[in-house]
């Protein structure tokens, strides 16, 4: 991977943080902080200096830090950082996640009270020891406790990408075992909820294989605790902190169980009622007739053995798992009616990606080649705009340079007969008053513009809506980026009236992206019905900062399905020429 200004800055900041956690001399850590800011904001690429061996030509970088940077670019770390990591207890690193706790404060509490774990910290906040420290007081102790409980609440769920890694690990482990007939992931993971509580695995297996399967499950090396082990269900906790439930059923009960454990609870409630209304009982074992007194008659199984057949027996077409939230799906799938949801294979190109021009890790050409390799037909490159200095935003000069590079690459593709094109885009900051971040002369040179808010996120909701509206009606804005600004399980988004923006964007022929990064998944799928009603267009945007990031598109497609999008309302399901025409039509 290329060494970017951003990655070097992060590395240097990391050293400064560790130094403070280790209680080292303030001047030293401050020097690393200063160097980090310097590298992050300088307008040339640090990689050039590394290659030329003249890092010390940069004013403010001395020989020692230059050596650390060189070592980082060669090995991904440096001896100074590794030594610090030996010194600082691992438990203390967790304290950094407590909002409002900086490394200096952490070191002070750790040192003076002789405590290292979160539990010890909670007790010390409770019993007054933290409050008694110089410069702390009762208010600070209370604030720390509140932040810890906030943090722990978040820790009860995880992002979709984290859940996916755990879920696939167990699916891979178990699917090939002898006696396993079928295996599916159920629960909120199958429904593709944006955050996941626990992971549910369902298996149909021969009865004599059940114990061996449970044994393999509960002894996997990634497990830290077995929470329960029975004849049909076992639960474990994995090292990432998540719970995983495995249920094993007989083959003829698999589909009813899959439907039941896919949920949601709210969806199941409606399904059970529909069964009752038709003289039947639906449960995790199957669909049964009712006795005369209205009890489930387990002797009289209705012969339906797939989800498809169960839905049909209840007067519905098969409902895709992503929609099973009792959020309007019953109305849309009544009888034979259904929605032909977007599929991953409908996606023709990649919009919203960053290169080394701003805070991405790869060159434009590397990103383009990665798109080609994945079978995409175009890349809409959108580095950050000039106000986003912290992310290496492009000044006008850099924009012109980038356009030249893109023209040259497009020419090269054409000459080589490669049917692929790069669109000149920018992720323009939306300034506080709703303006875009360049003069009109520059704005009109882009093929398309994504307009995003990156600062003053905490604005009054009414003012924020106005800010977004100004940017949305701007003739150069084609797509609004990550509208709430949320970072899942970390930062709440701005609570402005999203329905109003969805309506406004549709009226002004401007799309709102579904940011496919598992940190964002923003537009939230809950606005999907409004979007459908007003005909809002969207685009499944990976917001890729590196090559792997491109593959986040799968999360975005899942959320788009949850939001009821069909491919005719998705921009990057268009072919390159169609998309270009749409870009030009505002």
Contact between residue 422 and residue 410 where contact means Cβ atoms under 8 Å apart:
yes
Shortest Cβ 283–ligand DGT spacing (Å):
9
Angle at which helix 498-507 crosses helix 461-473, to 10 degrees, equals 10
Q: How far is the CB of 264 from ligand DGT (least distance, A)?
A: 5
CB closer to Ca ion out of 235 and 472: 235
Q: Does 402 bind Zn ion (CB under 5 A)?
A: no
> What's the token pair of residue 430?
């939306």
**Tokens of residue 22, six digits:** 């280790």
Closest CB to Ca ion among 200 and 437?
A: 200
335: left (phi over 0), alpha (psi -120 to 50) or beta: left
Among 162, 194, 200, 325, binds Ca ion (CB under 5 A): 200
Tell me the C-alpha to C-alpha distance, in Å, between residue 301 and each of 203, 232, 290. Answer: 21, 21, 10
Where does this chain bind ligand DGT (CB under 6 A)?
A: 187-188, 193, 196-198, 200, 260-261, 263-265, 268-269
Site string for Ca ion, 145-174 (x = CB under 5 A): ------------------------------
Site for Zn ion, residues 451 to 510, rule: CB under 5 A: 452
Q: Please answer whether residues 541 and 513 qualify as being in contact, where contact means their C-beta atoms are separated by less than 8 angstroms.
A: yes
User: Minimum distance between the CB of residue 156 and Ca ion, rounded to whole angstroms?
Assistant: 11
Q: Which is nearer to Zn ion, 106 or 451 (CB)?
A: 451
CB of 110 or CB of 545, closer to Zn ion: 545
Tell me whether residue 240 or residue 435 sits nearer to Zn ion (CB atom).
435
Q: Which long-range contacts (CB under 8 A, 24 or more apart) does 91-99 make?
A: 91/116, 91/117, 91/118, 92/21, 92/116, 93/21, 94/118, 95/121, 96/17, 97/151, 98/144, 98/147, 98/148, 98/151, 99/147, 99/150, 99/151
Residue 484's contacts (CB-CB under 8 Å, 6 or more residues apart) are 493, 494, 498, 522, 523, 524
Judged by beta carbon, residue 271 or residue 531, the one nearer ligand DGT is 271
Task: Give the Cβ contact number of residue 25 at 10 Å.
Answer: 11
Contact letters for Ca ion, residues 239-258 (x by CB under 5 A): ------x-------------
Nearer to ligand DGT, 15 or 196 (CB): 196
The least CB distance from residue 355 to Zn ion, in Å, is: 14
Contact 65, 31 (CB under 8 A): yes
Burial, 37: exposed, middle or buried (Cβ in 10 Å; 0-12, 13-18, 19+)? middle
Shortest Cβ distance from residue 339 to ligand DGT (Å)? 21
Where do we find the tokens 């990976």? Answer: 542
- The residue from 162, 198, 524, 552 that contacts Ca ion (CB under 5 A) is 198
* Least separation in angstroms between CB 2 and ligand DGT: 37
Q: Does 40 bind Ca ion (CB under 5 A)?
A: no
Stretch that binds Zn ion, among 67-75, 445-453, 460-468, 504-512 (CB under 5 A): 445-453
Query: What is the rounded CA–CA span in Å between residue 176 and residue 290?
Result: 38
Tell me how far, at minimum, the Cβ of 190 lies from Ca ion, in Å: 9
Task: Tell me: does residue 387 bind Zn ion (CB under 5 A).
Answer: no
Nearest distance in Å: CB 279, ligand DGT = 20
Task: Name the nearest CA neighbour of 236 among 170, 157, 155.
Answer: 170
Helix (H), strand (E) at residue 510? none
Nearer to ligand DGT, 187 or 483 (CB): 187
Contact flags string 361-380 toward Zn ion, x per CB under 5 A: --------------------
Side-chain-facing half-sphere of 466: CA atoms under 13 Å: 7
CB-nearest residue to Zn ion: 452
Core vs surface per residue 286-316: b (16+ CB within 10 A) or e: bbbebeeeeebeeeebbebbebeebbebbeb
- Closest distance between Ca ion and the C-beta of residue 233, in Å? 9
What number of chain residues touch Ca ion (CB under 5 A)? Answer: 5
Give the shortest CB-157-to-ligand DGT separation in angstroms.
7
Which of Zn ion, ligand DGT, Ca ion, none sits in contact with 566, Cβ below 5 to 8 A by type? none
Please say which residue, 192 or 421, places its beta carbon nearer to ligand DGT. 192
SS3 content of the chain, % helix, strand, coil (to 5): 50, 15, 35
CB of 245 to Ca ion, least distance (A): 4
- Sorted by sequence, the CB contacts under 8 Å of residue 328 that are 6+ apart come out as 529, 564
Hunting for tokens 């589909």 — which residue is that? Answer: 255
SS3 readout for 152-210 = HHHCCCEEHHHHHHHHHHHHHHHHCCCCEEEEEEEHHHHHCCCEECCEEEEEEECHHHH
Would you list the DSSP string of 11-23?
HHHHHHHHHHHTT
Nearer to Zn ion, 277 or 548 (CB): 548
Q: Under rule CB under 5 A, which residues in 244-303 are in contact with Zn ion?
A: none
Taking CB within 5 to 8 Å according to partner kind, which of Ca ion, ligand DGT, Zn ion, none is near residue 452?
Zn ion
Span near Ca ion by CB under 5 A; candidates 164-172, 185-193, 434-442, 522-530: 185-193
Rounded least distance, CB 320 to ligand DGT, Å: 15
Distance separating the N- and C-terminal Cα atoms of the chain: 39
Residue nearest to ligand DGT according to CB distances in the complex: 263
The correct pick among 187, 349, 380, 483 for binding Ca ion (CB under 5 A) is: 187
> Does 184 engage in binding with Ca ion (CB under 5 A)?
no
Q: Which residues bind Ca ion (CB under 5 A)?
A: 187-188, 198, 200, 245
Q: Which residues bind Zn ion (CB under 5 A)?
A: 452
């Amino acid at each position: 991977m290329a060494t970017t200004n951003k990655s070097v800055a992060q590395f240097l900041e990391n050293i400064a943080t560790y130094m403070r956690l280790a209680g080292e001399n303030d001047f030293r850590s401050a020097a690393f902080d200063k160097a980090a800011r310097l590298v992050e904001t300088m307008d040339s690429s640090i990689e050039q200096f590394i290659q030329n061996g003249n890092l010390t030509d940069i004013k403010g970088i001395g020989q020692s830090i230059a050596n650390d940077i060189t070592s980082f670019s060669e090995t991904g770390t440096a001896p100074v950082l590794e030594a610090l990591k030996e010194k600082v207890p691992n438990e203390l690193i967790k304290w950094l996640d407590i909002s409002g706790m900086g490394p200096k404060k952490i070191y002070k509490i750790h040192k003076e009270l002789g405590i290292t774990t979160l539990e010890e910290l909670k007790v010390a906040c409770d019993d007054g020891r933290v409050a008694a420290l110089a410069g702390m007081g009762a208010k600070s102790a209370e604030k720390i406790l509140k932040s810890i409980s906030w943090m722990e609440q978040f820790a009860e769920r995880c992002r979709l990408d984290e859940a996916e890694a755990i879920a696939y690990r167990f699916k891979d482990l178990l699917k090939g075992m002898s006696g396993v007939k079928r295996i599916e992931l159920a629960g909120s993971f199958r429904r593709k909820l944006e955050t996941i509580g626990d992971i549910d695995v369902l298996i149909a297996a021969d009865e004599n294989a059940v114990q061996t399967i449970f044994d393999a499950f509960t002894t996997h090396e990634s497990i830290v605790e077995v929470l329960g082990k029975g004849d049909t269900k076992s639960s474990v906790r994995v090292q990432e902190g998540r719970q995983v439930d495995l249920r094993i059923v007989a083959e003829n009960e698999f589909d009813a169980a899959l439907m039941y454990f896919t949920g949601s609870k709210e969806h199941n409630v409606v399904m059970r009622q529909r069964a009752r209304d038709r003289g039947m009982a639906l449960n995790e074992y199957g669909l049964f007739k009712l006795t005369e007194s209205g009890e489930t008659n387990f002797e009289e199984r209705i012969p339906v053995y797939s989800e498809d057949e169960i839905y049909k027996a209840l007067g519905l077409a098969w409902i895709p798992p992503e929609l099973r939230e009792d959020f309007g799906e019953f109305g849309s799938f009544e009888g034979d009616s259904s929605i032909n949801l977007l599929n991953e294979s409908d996606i023709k190109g990649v919009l919203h990606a960053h290169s080394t021009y701003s805070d991405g890790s790869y060159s434009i050409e590397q990103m383009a080649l990665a798109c080609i390799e994945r079978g995409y037909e175009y890349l809409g490159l959108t580095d950050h705009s000039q106000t986003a200095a912290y992310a290496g935003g492009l000044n006008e000069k850099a924009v012109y340079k980038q356009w030249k590079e893109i023209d040259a690459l497009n020419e090269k593709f054409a000459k080589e007969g490669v049917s692929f094109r790069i669109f000149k885009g920018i992720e323009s900051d939306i300034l506080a008053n709703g303006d875009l971040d360049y003069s009109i002369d520059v704005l009109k040179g882009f093929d398309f513009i994504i307009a995003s808010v990156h600062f003053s996120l905490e604005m009054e909701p009414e003012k924020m809506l106005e800010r977004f509206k100004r940017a949305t009606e701007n003739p150069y804005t084609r797509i609004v980026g990550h509208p709430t600004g949320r970072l899942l399980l970390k930062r709440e988004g701005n609570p402005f009236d999203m329905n109003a923006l969805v309506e406004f964007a549709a009226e002004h022929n401007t799309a709102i992206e579904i940011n496919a990064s598992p940190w964002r998944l923003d537009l939230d799928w809950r606005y999907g019905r409004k979007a459908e009603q007003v005909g809002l267009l969207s685009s499944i945007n990976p917001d890729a900062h590196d090559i792997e990031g491109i593959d986040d598109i799968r999360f975005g497609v899942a959320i788009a399905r949850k939001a009821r999008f069909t491919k005719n309302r998705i921009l990057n399901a268009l072919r390159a020429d169609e998309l270009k025409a749409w870009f030009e039509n505002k």
